[in-house]
Amino acid sequence: MTEKSISKISLFINFLLFSGVGITIIFFRTNYLTLFHFVTSILIMGLGSISLILNIIKAKKAKDIAISLSTFIIGIFFYNNKTKFLSLFPIIFGIYMLVNGIIKFITYLIFKKRENRKFYNVLFGSFIDFSFSLIMLTNPSKNINRLTAILGIYLILFGITYFKDFLKEAFPNKIRKKKKRNFRITLPIIFSVMIPYKVLLKINKLLKEWETPVKVPNKKVSGKVDLEIFIHVKNSTIGRFGHADLFFDGTVYSYGCYDEQSKKLIELLGDGTFFEVKSKEKYIKFCNTHSDKTIFAFGLTLTKREKEEVKAKLEEIKKNTYPWNPKTKKKKNKIKNDYAISLEKETKAKFYKFYKSTYKTYFLLSTNCVKLVDEVVGATGSDLLKINGVITPGAYYEYLEQEFKKEKSNVITKQIYTNQNIERKKKP
C-alpha cells in the first residue's frame, strides 16, 4: 500500500472543486435538489432491484430477499414523494445538532464545576445547537432550502481550507512566520470518527494477504523528528473510536480515564487520568500485544521555540496533578485484568490525577485524549478546528495524514505499528 503525496496543484483544484460546488448549490438550489432527488431515488431502486435479482438467483434466505425488496420499494416511494424524501435531511441534521447540543451542555456542566473561565462559550454553543435543532425538527419540509444553503456555505468554507493549505505550500516562508492558531473546517464527526478504523481494516487485509509491507512516501526533510503523535485504533466497540497520545523529549504522555472504578454513563465519563512512560518501545509493544492496537505514528519537526512552547504547555498541564496509584482500593481478583495496572507493570508508567482544571473529569466527547494532544501541539501553531466542540481521533488522523502528504509541512514521518508486523518480522 503506497500513499501519494499532495501537490500544490491538487490543493488548488480541491479549493476550486469544493468552493464551486458550494456556490452552485447556493445559487441553483432548486435545480440541485431536483437532481439530487432524482439521482438518489434511481440509485436506491437500482441497488434494490439488482440485489433482489441476485438474491433470488443465488437462492438466498427470505430475510435477504425481503431487505432487497424493501430497498427497491423505498426507492420507488422516494421517487414519487420528493418533498417527503427531502424532508428527511432536515430531520437528520436536526437530530445531529441536538446530539451536539447535549454534548456541549454536558461539557459546560463539567467546565462550570471546575470553574473554567471559558464555560460560557460552551453554553452559548450549546444554545445555538439546540436552537438549530428545534428549527429543523419543527417543520422539516420548510427548512430544506435553509439546510441546502448551510451545505453550500460549509462546502465553500471547506474549499477555503484547501486554499489556505495551497498558500502554505506555495509561500511557506511568508505564511509560517505567523504562529497564531487559525480555525480549520474538517469533516463532520459522523464521517471522521471511523477513519482510523477504516484504515486499520485496509492494512489488516494487506497483511493477511502477505503482500509487500505497508509503505509510506519518503519525504526529503531537513532536521529530525522532535515530537510524535500516536493515533491508536483496535477492533472493538470503543476501540474503533480511537485514542491519541504523544511522545516528546523521551517520554510518552497520555490522557484518558484509566481508573475503572470511576467510569460511569457507559464509560463516557470518569476521573481524568494522566500518565507518563519513559520508554517509547515498551509502550508501543504493550499497546500492540496487550491491547491488540494498531498505532499510526506521525513525526513532527519543531523549531527551538516550538519545543520550548510544548515543554511549557506540558508542565502547565502537569502542575495541576497529583500522583495516583492504580492499585488503590482495587480488589485482588480485578488487578490482573486492569489496564492501568498492567501498563504500570510492563512499562513502569507513572499515573497522575487532576485536583483541578478541565481535565479533572474525562468526557469521551469533549475533554478527551485528543483535547490534551491538540492543546499541547496547538502551542506550535497547528490549526485543527474543534468542530462542534468535538475533536475525534479520526479528525486528528485526517489532519495529520493531509499534513504528512504535503511537501512542506512540519509533519515529516509516518510509521505504522501493528501486532501483525511484530509477528511478521519473525518470519524467515
Of the given ranges (40-49, 110-119, 203-212), which has the lowest mean pLDDT? 203-212
Tell me which of 177 and 160 has the higher pLDDT: 160
Tell me which of 224 and 284 has the higher pLDDT: 284
pLDDT tier for residue 122 given thresholds of 50, 70 and 90: confident
Q: What is the mean pLDDT of residues 35-64?
A: 89
Q: What is the mean pLDDT of residues 113-118?
A: 60
> Could you give the percent of the chain with pLDDT greater than 90?
22
Long-range CB pairs of 176-179, under 8 A, 24+ apart, other chains included: 178/381, 179/380, 179/381
pLDDT tier for residue 41 given thresholds of 50, 70 and 90: very high
Helix axes 119-138, 144-170, angle to 10 degrees: 140
Tell me which of 136 and 218 has the higher pLDDT: 136
Q: What is the mean pLDDT of residues 121-130?
A: 84
Backbone angles phi, psi at 296, to 5 degrees: -100, 115
Q: What is the mean pLDDT of residues 114-131?
A: 76
pLDDT tier for residue 348 given thresholds of 50, 70 and 90: very high
Residue 275: per-residue pLDDT: 94
Average pLDDT along the chain: 79
Q: What is the mean pLDDT of residues 53-78?
A: 88
Q: What is the mean pLDDT of residues 305-331?
A: 87
Residue 283: per-residue pLDDT: 94
Q: pLDDT tens across 161-185, in order? A: 888 878 877 776 655 444 555 555 5
d(CA 337, CA 340): 9
DSSP 8-state assignment for residue 141: G
Q: Which of the residue ranges 166-170, 197-201, 280-284 has the most confident prediction, judged by mean pLDDT?
A: 280-284
Q: What is the mean pLDDT of residues 345-361?
A: 90
Tell me which of 374 and 222 has the higher pLDDT: 374
* H-run or E-run covering 129: helix 119-138
Classify the C-alpha dihedral 152-153-156-158 as positive or negative.
negative
Q: pLDDT tens across 377-427, in order? A: 887 766 554 444 566 787 788 788 888 887 778 888 888 888 765 443 332
Q: How many CB atoms lie within 10 A of CB 283?
A: 24
d(CA 72, CA 75): 5
d(CA 26, CA 29): 6
Residue 108: per-residue pLDDT: 82
pLDDT tier for residue 198 given thresholds of 50, 70 and 90: low
64: pLDDT strictly greater than 90: no
Q: What is the mean pLDDT of residues 209-229?
A: 59
Residue 246: per-residue pLDDT: 93
* H-run or E-run covering 117: none
Q: pLDDT tens across 237-266, in order? A: 555 678 899 999 999 999 999 988 888 877
Q: State the SS3 of 358-372.
A: HHHEEECCCCCHHHH
Residue 155: per-residue pLDDT: 85
